[in-house]
A and B are shown apart, each in its own frame.
Chain A
Amino acid sequence: MAVEYLALLKPTSRARRFQANLIVFLAAVATLLAFVPLAAVAGYLVSQGAGVINLDFFTQDPPGDLSATGGGIRNAIAGTFEMAGLATVIAAPIGILIAIFNAEVGGRIGAAVRFFIDVLAALPSIVVGIFVYTLVVVAQGHFSGFAGSLALAIIMLPVIVISTEEMFRLLPRPIREGTRALGLTRWRTYLSVFIPTALSGIFTGLLLAISRAVGETAPLIFTSLGNNFFSTDMSEPMQALPLLIYRNALNSAYPAARDRAMGAALTLVAIVLLFNLLGRWLVASRRPGGRAGR
């Protein structure tokens, strides 16, 4: 008996230990490998873009000619925030309501809606751009900031639905039981308990959705198109940071265009990271009910 136990406690053979160490080594290499592009992109943007950025860069509009020096990216920053802002206003209430629908309705219909939302989340963003182009831009007869907002809203919608639904699901059991015990109606439950409790989580989903929408280029090519001047008219074509980076990058043979692309890219990454990290920090610091459901 004792001998058998001792056999189990015997140190593993050298070959098996080598195997185990090898997998740890490979995994470590792979993880470091994934850090390389991130560090490379970040380092490149800072080294190339930081020198371009000054106050004028944020307060002036670009010259009409890509190859001309001077000017800034004010119109693109404004356009990005205008379109992302309107997109949030459109997508947030709809997304939260769909999340409530998903949390309340089970069965085949609920499963079908959830599947549709999951597919929508994975849809190529360029396809969303085509959708809005055929339905809105063609009907209106011209490109517009509104069409761009709509495309961004469709891209944000599934992100908001999925994260909000997850937040409702993660609500701690005592809270659920409490609302039942109090005999609260469902709408009261959502309005006074679930949404306030899950608010930081819902907000996180919103921020992550915004951080994704802000970086999208492909859907804007067919919808907001871009322009060269400052504009607040949503019914006209509108510039955005990713569009400006794209057009300038394609003309990066001109030093001015290249510099502008670098400065704008650094700005865009900073904005995206700000929203992204803010969202993560929110959810990490205030998960509803602490260790709920995990």
Chain B
Amino acid sequence: MTAGKLSPSAIQDAPRRSMVRRRLREGDLLLRLVALVVTAGALAVIALMMFDSVRTAWPVFQNFGIIGFLTGQEWAPAFTVYGAWPFLYGTVLTGAIALIIAVPISVLIALMVTEILPPRIGQPVAIVVDLLAAVPSVVWGLWGLLVLVPVIRPFERDVAHSLGQVIPFLGPPTPGPSYFAAGLIIAMMIIPIVAAVTREVFASTPRLQREAVLALGGTRWDVVRSVVLPIGRTGLVAAILLGLGRAIGETIAVTMVVGNNPLVGGSIFSPGYTLASVIANEFNEATEPLHPEALIALGVVLLGLAIVVNGAGLIVRRRFERSAGRGR
């Protein structure tokens, strides 16, 4: 995840330019050839797989129309009716819930590690936070199903019967498994990613400006407010996008706590479904006509969503790195 942190090193480029005219020796030619063939081959195979998935899903898009499929409200394999809307809705909603919970916590963790704790303590803290990412999705799901959902059920019920009476979006039903439970689990899973990117962003803000603020008698909060946050803003956007990119792809843990209900739920406490979780849950039992193709079509939609969100995140991060690199 730390690729591209240093700009492609000037150390390496400068001498190479002076040797451009030097004849490549056979070994070098071979190395380049092998590296080129392997790289091109691996990328071609993966591109072929993408193409093949789209091709497999094509009858579904043809049958319902791309827009029709995306906005279709009904998912009824028994009647060969397939609409992606309930799942798109669930993916976006659970992703949003996860971001609302995870981003403030991650930013504060990044501040704690880079600005407040001395490196000797900050480093181990960062590693422990990173370990959250090492817990397999299925283990989060197991814990979520048997511990988290029962624990948050009374809370869901309380909110639904107080605030929820005024705001239907927070109202009942509150069976336990819900968009909210899924969002909460996803939040725990993306905190390490958002925190790691944010940490790098904060660490790369220029030292001179920080010290200037401290020299003027500023507090640590002044440093954060007037240097770290303004300069790191673009990087923060990248961290959020990359976190969202991870959130929409979370599958198994979500499948176990989201409630598996192929309808658009009116409340965040309703049971629902996401793109990834319906694929995981229905694929092995998909025997109705067009059902496997429709699930693959959902996968293609998820692929598109992931490429857009992550691509945007990567581009924004690269832009931030370039500007931060100049500032140093």
Contacts and interface: CB of A to CB of B under 8 A. Distances in A.
A245 B27 contact: no
Contact of B105 (A22, A30, A105, A190): A30
B177 interface: no
Given A123-B307, A127-B303, A246-B138, 8 more contacts: A12-B217, A34-B195, A38-B128, A93-B38, A123-B303, A214-B136, A217-B138, A221-B280
A31 B128 CA distance: 10
B314 to A, nearest CB: 5
A26 B221 CA distance: 12
Given A100-B35, A217-B251, A265 B12 contact: no
Contact of A123 (B1, B6, B8, B306): B306
A286 interface: no
B36 A265 contact: no
**Is chain A's binding surface mostly helix, strand, loop or mixed?**
helix
B245 interface: yes
B46 interface: yes
A45 B1 CA distance: 29
Contact of A124 (B48, B143, B188, B276): B276
B78 interface: no
**Is chain B's binding surface mostly helix, strand, loop or mixed?**
helix
19 contacts: A23-B220, A24-B116, A30-B104, A31-B108, A31-B125, A44-B147, A45-B143, A115-B314, A119-B310, A131-B46, A134-B52, A138-B56, A162-B2, A169-B9, A218-B252, A221-B284, A249-B138, A268-B139, A276-B131
Interface stretch (A55-63, A66-74, A180-188, A227-235): A180-188
The 7 closest A-B CB pairs, nearest first, are A124-B249, A215-B136, A30-B108, A131-B49, A20-B219, A187-B31, A27-B112
A169 B4 CA distance: 9
Contacts of A45: 139, 143
B134 interface: yes
Contact of B219 (A17, A124, A217, A252): A17
A16 B137 contact: no
B158 interface: no
Given A10-B217, A37-B188, A98-B38, A245 B284 contact: no
